[in-house]
Amino acid sequence: MKELALWVSAPYAGDRIFDPSSPLNRDDCLSSARMLRALLRERGWDCHTQDHYLAAGDVPDAVLFNDIPGEGVRRALGPWYPRVRKFAVLLECEAIKPENWRPGAHEPFEAVFTWDERYVDDRKYFKANFSVPFPSQADSDPAGRPGFCVMITANKSSRHPLELYSERKSTVRWFERNRPGKLDLYGMGWERRLFEGTLRPLNRLSPLTRLFAEKFPSYRGPVDRKLPVLRKYKFAICYENAREISGYITEKIFDALFAGCVPVYWGAPDIARFVPESCFIDRRRFRDNEELCLYMEHLQEDSYLGMLSAAAEYVRGAGTGPFSDRAFAAAVAGRICAG
């Protein structure tokens, strides 16, 4: 049996990335790793995280990186480097993880899997989207939703000109000033100050980060699972980490669709190629948050129900589509086992 090492960061090591009961597996977000492992085993491969092989003193046949490691591939692999086949899945865009796209970064790899169609040539670069486990059906019942709008996201920042972290924050502040109580904010880091530049080491001092944190009246805390929270709201702000990057589509819009919560989407300019426009509100259509909010407040019930119905129809047919965990696992396993 051949062996694949899945190269992961410390929280996912010890094969925790394959554990469905792990707290890291929020809303089954790690299903694609388990599905990949299952498909590999069907084809005569075993798969563990890299620490399994390092502890045993074994060298696997191949290594699959999830994004380019910060220290570089050669340094990360050490003595494994010349002895293993090397593959990479590039999920983050250049605005958030620039090391994924630096010149020469892809040279060590036999194959690279990415959503970015500018690279895909079916020789070295192969299409693989950010994947999610599609339910058999979406929640399309509008009853029992006391909340108007929700945002579930971590508090992060970036200096890249295409970043949308700042737009998330400005949207939260607009609602707090102009429609208090109409948007609830959830996620990690909003109760802490994120120091930058030369002050970055201060982020290790938890009491200090809390002391100097901005106050967000709409903040309701972190969540263990997103879908039960989303099901309490009519609308969800779903902004990607960056905008105007074709094909860069993550779980945010899908989470809302699964929960029967109409997404307000901003990110990939070609989103309508993959998700029908009838399922979501395109933030780019509106001049500012005032115009967006007025549209949401005055959306007729039949139009709102029509969006929920369109979303439910889309979810029913997309379970094996290009954003499914099964499609992702099949693309990666097929190429690794072909060598």
Average pLDDT, the chain: 95
Do 6 and 129 share a domain, yes or no? yes
Task: Report whether pLDDT(101) > 80.
Answer: yes
Do 214 and 109 share a domain, yes or no? no
- What pLDDT sits at residue 269? 98
Residue 141 domain flag: no
Residue 288 domain flag: yes
* Tens digit of each residue's pLDDT (9 = 90 or more) over 247-268: 999 999 999 999 999 999 999 9
Domain CATH number, residue 37: 3.40.50
Residue 231 domain flag: yes
- Give the mean model confidence (pLDDT) for residues 204-220: 86
Identify the band that residue 200 occupies on the pLDDT scale cut at 50, 70 and 90.
Answer: confident
Do 224 and 273 share a domain, yes or no? yes
Q: How many CB atoms lie within 10 A of CB 327?
A: 21
Tell me the pTM: 0.93
- What pLDDT sits at residue 242? 97
Residue 139 domain flag: no
Do 67 and 200 share a domain, yes or no? no
Do 153 and 115 share a domain, yes or no? no
How far CA 322 is from CA of 123, 128, 319, 325, in Å, comes to 19, 8, 9, 9
- Cα 152–chain centre separation: 12
Q: Which domain holds residue 216?
A: 147-317
Residue 78 domain flag: yes
Residue 142 domain flag: no
Do 170 and 303 share a domain, yes or no? yes
Residue 101 near residue 88 (C-beta atoms within 8 A): no
Domain CATH number, residue 158: 3.40.50.11660
Task: Report whether pLDDT(195) > 80.
Answer: no
Please tell me the total count of domains within the chain: 2
- What pLDDT sits at residue 285? 98
